[in-house]
Amino acid sequence: MNGKKLRRLTLSAVLAAFTCVATLIVRIPTPTKGYVNLGDCLVNLSAWILGPYYGAAAAGIGSALADLFAGYAVYAAATLVIKGLMAAASYGTYKAVSGKTHSFAGRISGAIAAELVMASGYFIFEAVLYGSIATAALGITGNIAQGIMGAVSSVVIYEAVIKRIPRSI
User: What pLDDT sits at residue 15?
Assistant: 97
Determine the average pLDDT of the residues in 150-163: 93
Instruction: Kindly report the average pLDDT of the chain as a whole number.
Output: 93
Q: Is 24 within the bounds of a domain?
A: yes
Q: Which residue has the higher pLDDT, 101 or 61?
A: 61
pLDDT given for residue 104 in this prediction: 92
Residue 141 placed within a domain: yes
pLDDT for residue 168 is more than 70: no
Assess if residue 169 is contained within a domain. no
Closest CA to 88 of 48, 32, 138, 134: 48
94 occurs within a structural domain: yes
CB atoms < 10 A from the CB of 102, how many? 13
Determine the Cα–Cα distance for residues 166 and 150; give it in Å rounded to an integer. Answer: 24
Closest CA to 119 of 98, 162, 94, 149: 149
Q: What are the pLDDT digits (tens) for 98-144? A: 988 889 999 999 999 999 999 999 999 999 999 999 999 999 999 99
Look up the domain containing 93 and give its range.
3-164
When mean pLDDT is compared across 21-25, 100-104, 153-157, the lowest value belongs to: 100-104
The domain that contains 62 carries what CATH number? 1.10.1760.20
**Average pLDDT, stretch 160-164?**
85
Give the integer Cα–Cα distance in Å for 163 and 159.
Answer: 6
| Greater model confidence, 36 or 148 | 148
pLDDT at 167 over 80: no
How sure is the predictor about 33, in pLDDT bands with cuts at 50, 70 and 90?
A: confident
What span, in angstroms and rounded, lies between the C-alpha atoms of 79 and 47?
16
Domain count, the chain: 1
